[in-house]
Structure 1
Amino acid sequence: MPIEIQPASGVQLDLEYEQTVTSALYRDADLSGTVAGAVEFLQCRFEKASLAGSHLAQVRFIDCVADVADFSNLRGERGVLERVGVTGSRMTGLAWNDGLLSDVTFADCKVDLTNWRFARFDVVTFTDCNLAGADFTHADLRGASFTRCDLSRAQFHNATMEGARFRSCELQGIGGLTSWAGAIVHPDDLLALSYALAGALGITVSDKDR
């Protein structure tokens, strides 16, 4: 991020197709419901800003920071997140299908019911995040790491998982366990994972004799 960054103004608050915004501070900015394609944000900061319910196909966030922002129900199919840090933000229902994430961190974020189908994760970390019900179908998660995250009911059908890391995560009710070949799971998570695997195989776990 640049040392000095100016508040967004004028056309930076009225996004248009193929617009590029450089070094702008979106503080308390309400951009909810915006519709524009191929918008590019370079070295921008989002503080308590809202892009909720926006449709920004092929949007690109590069060298950006989001702090306590609202990206809920944002549709960014084929979008790019590159060298981005997201903290304390709400992203419920975000759709980033067929997108790319490279060198991205999510910390203490609400990322539940999100759509990451066919997305590629390259050096991406989720820490203390709620990812309940997230859909990673056909996603390439080889560069993803999840620590203390709620992944209950998340779907991993046909995902590429070799090298993906999980530690101290909630894994109840996850789907697509047959795609977990090559994933790296901390010993603390093995019990929860074994119950999920048993459920996927139709095995009933019971301590009763009959």
Structure 2
Amino acid sequence: MSVHRAPADPRLTTLAPQQEADLDHEALFRRVLLAGVDLAGHEADLVEFEQCRFERGSLAAAVLDQPRFTDCVVEHSDWANAKLTKPALLRTRLTSVRMTGAQCSAGTLRDVSFDACRADLAAFRFATFAHVRFTGCNLTGADFTGADLRRAEFVSCDLTGAQFSNANCAGALLTDCDLSGIGGVTSLAGATVAAGDLVALAHTFARALGITVASEVPAAGPRTRARPASG
């Protein structure tokens, strides 16, 4: 069974404000404050952010191949429709980040926290999660196909219609979440789910198994006792 613990906090030191930035291939950003910096639509490979803070900036629709975020804080920013291929996030905290439609496919996330983020329709396909916690996030329609979620935790999240097909959820924790209509429900085998979340999950299980849930079961008619044959 996976051992859960809270994600480790980012290790930040004194940061130098940087008003503008260009995402060149293999660019390195270290110990900088990127406040209000617009990087929307930029394309680059192997970009590294180390001990950086992003505030009210944008990576919307950016296309980054193998980006790396280490000891970073991202707050009130827009990452909608960003395409991050094989990203690596280590000791990173995202708070109130808009990630609608963002793609973080085949990535590695370790000691990462998502707080009050809007990540509806986001894709985390085949990503590996280690000590990752989603708290109060909108994850409706999010795609976790093939992801390793054994050390992931979801707290007070809306997972309506999220996809978990072929995910490894043995050891995952789900508390006070909306699990209505999730896909790949059988992949939740081995996860721990709060008792209060089981009602919606039971209906989803029933549909997956082809069971019809009726509000009322028709009452059986009166039984007729067979009469013995007369001699």
- The answer to whether TM tops 0.5 is yes
1:199-210 pair list within 5 angstroms? 199-210=207-218
Q: Is 1:77 equivalent to 2:75 in the alignment?
A: no
Q: Is 1:131 equivalent to 2:131 in the alignment?
A: no
Q: 1:3 to 1:98 in 2, by over 3 A?
A: closer
2:17 corresponds to which residue?
A: 7
Q: Is the 8 A contact 2:13 2:51 kept in 1?
A: no
Moved runs in structure 1, 4+ residues, more than 3 A? none
Q: Distance in 2 between matches of 1:15 and 1:209?
A: 62
Q: Distance in 2 between matches of 1:91 and 1:118?
A: 18
Q: Distance in 2 between matches of 1:20 and 1:151?
A: 35
Deviations 1:151-176 (A, max 9, x none): 01100000001100001101111010
CA shift, 1:9, in A, is 4.5
The count of aligned residue pairs is 208
Which residue of 52, 62, 65 maps to 1:54?
62
Q: What SS class does the counterpart of residue 56 from structure 1 fall into?
A: strand
Which has the greater radius of gyration?
A: 2
Counterpart residue identity of residue 31, structure 1: L
Counterpart residue identity of residue 113, structure 1: L
Q: Is the 8 A contact 2:147 2:167 kept in 1?
A: yes
Q: What SS class does the counterpart of residue 159 from structure 2 fall into?
A: coil
Q: Distance in 1 between matches of 2:217 and 2:26?
A: 66
Identity of aligned residues (%): 47
1:88 corresponds to which residue?
A: 96
Which residue of 147, 152, 159 maps to 1:144?
152
Unaligned regions of 5+ residues in structure 1, if any?
none
Q: Is 1:158 equivalent to 2:153 in the alignment?
A: no
Which residue of 116, 119, 124 maps to 1:108?
116
Which residue of 171, 176, 186 maps to 2:184?
176
**Relative contact order, CA 8 A, sep 6+: which one is greater?**
2
Q: Distance in 1 between matches of 2:12 and 2:160?
A: 38
Mean Cα deviation higher: 113-122 or 194-203: 194-203
Deviations 1:156-197 (A, max 9, x none): 000001100001101111010111111011111111111111
- How well do the aligned residues superpose, as a CA RMSD in angstroms? 1.1
Unaligned regions of 5+ residues in structure 2, if any?
1-10, 219-231
Q: Distance in 1 between matches of 2:203 and 2:157?
A: 18
